[in-house]
Amino acid sequence: MSVQGLFYALPRHGLRGLLVEPSAMDDYLQRSAAQGGPLAMLDQGSLWQQDMQHLPEIEPGVAVEGTLAQQCWAWPADLVTDSAQRLAAISAAQLVQRMHAWQKTQDGSAPDLEALRLWVRRQAALRGFWQAAAQRRDAVLLYVV
């Protein structure tokens, strides 16, 4: 069974209510933005753990219990802003260096060019998501199903 990591941006004031009543989170996340649900979503698939392990610029989120998710973390708007600023400071070259170092610890070989391109594209999408959430002063959830 594949585990999916879904990042959601939501209004910062709405996060409080979801933390008070986490069982309401599942219904909230399934509503469309027009109906008052999340403002944005980014599906990082099964590679969400790799993102969190290799991007220390994203501050640790607050674990949320009581949802249907396997795991759930929340970032209030101030942590989203801090993390977005640190993510924006990372260059593509730094991302490639991180991927090289990680791959060498895994099997001793350098990753192929296509793997590096995929890594950089995924990280650009993730950084863009966090930056847009920070500009709106949104909170962020990582919902793992």
CATH classification of the domain holding 43: 3.40.1760.10
Higher local confidence (pLDDT), 93 or 62? 62
| Prediction pTM value | 0.87
Provide the domain count of the chain. 1
In degrees and rounded to multiples of 5, residue 129 shows phi and psi of -60, -50
- Residue 110: pLDDT band (50, 70, 90) is low
Residue type, 65: E
pLDDT, tens only, 42-76? 999 888 888 888 888 998 999 999 999 999 999 99
Instruction: Identify the H or E element spanning 6.
Output: strand 5-11
Mean pLDDT over 24-39 rounds to 76
Q: How many CA atoms lie within 13 A of 125 on its CB side?
A: 16
Query: For the packed helices 77-88 and 113-136, what is the interaxial angle rounded to 10 degrees?
Result: 140
Average pLDDT over residues 100-109: 73
The domain containing residue 16 runs over which residues? 5-144
